[in-house]
Chains A and B, each alone.
Chain A
Amino acid sequence: DAKTTQPPSMDCAEGRAANLPCNHSTISGNEYVYWYRQIHSQGPQYIIHGLKNNETNEMASLIITEDRKSSTLILPHATLRDTAVYYCIVRETSGGGADGLTFGKGTHLIIQP
């Protein structure tokens, strides 16, 4: 019952922009799109989240399509340290009830030197 679909793996050359796609065609109006990443042998790390507007922070940019059925995480200048599994998650944040973050299989991004 995964709410998101991501490619299992991607390669990107060091210094180039890494564009990671995510499909979430069943997203509902009060669900946000979150991105986390997990570098080998570490706990997951929050990257960015958004509702419908594009978002940017010091780590990445998040582009959400107008119909909100898909999004793209952009790492503008990928480095070797960005090699990790990237998880796209949709999550209701209405403020009520128990809502564990549910992680799918993610995309294993490999940055090539």
Chain B
Amino acid sequence: QSGLTQPASVSGSPGQSITISCTGTSNDVGIYNLVSWYQQHPGKAPKVIIYEVGKRPSGASDRFSGSKSGNTASLTISGLQAEDESDYHCCSYTRSGTWVFGGGTRVTVL
């Protein structure tokens, strides 16, 4: 299985909105609504911020939102804040019953 495709980096100014894309195939992102997003600060374990494409777990900021169109999922961060500077990873369940991650996106707050 090939990994999902994410941009290596995205940047924005405080208060702006940014969107991170995550492109897969009809064998993973396109077939199930089981895309999740993880935030990872340096030296820390990842933390789920979005699951099932657009659901937020308890405690996750409502500035995070997710969507999907075809084989591409997206994570939008609204009202960008300094604390959002981090790595973001998308993940999808696959037709084979396995999981596949993207390469990760580094978000920089200018």
Do chains A and B stick together as partners? no
Interface of A toward B, CB cutoff 8 Å? none
